[in-house]
Amino acid sequence: MAVKLHRCSGTWIKGPHPCWKAQKALDEAGVDYELVLHPAFPRGRRKELQERTGQNKLPVVEFEDGSFLRESKVIAERAHAGTLHSDRAPA
């Protein structure tokens, strides 16, 4: 099942950055995903993301059924555990 990783456009930022943590976890777990970049700042420029997910914070994983998984820590934990697609939040 393909997913989309919505993250900031600062792909060069590493370390403790939440978007990098989520992307690294997906890569390490071998998850196939499409990368969708959003403006890093200001968050107000993420209007489409706000309308679709109810928040303007990144990263967000979008599933084929239209549901979303938010928060880099949760994304990373589920990716490493192999349960990324389990207990998805409603869209």
- Total-model pTM: 0.84
Region of 54 (left: φ > 0; alpha: ψ -120 to 50; beta: rest) is left
The number of C-alpha atoms within 13 Å of 20 and in the hemisphere containing its C-beta is 8
pLDDT at 6 exceeding the cut of 60: yes
C-alpha to C-alpha distance for 55 and 53, rounded to whole angstroms: 5
CATH topology of domain 3-81: Glutaredoxin (3.40.30)
Residue 22 confidence class, pLDDT cut points 50, 70, 90? very high
- 70 close to 78: Cβ distance less than 8 angstroms: no
User: Closest Cα partner for 6 from 29, 51, 30?
Assistant: 51
- Window from 4-13, 15-24, 82-91 with minimum mean pLDDT: 82-91
- 8 close to 39: Cβ distance less than 8 angstroms: yes
Write down the pLDDT at residue 49: 86
> 24-71: per-residue pLDDT in tens?
999 999 999 999 998 877 766 788 888 888 888 899 999 999 899 999
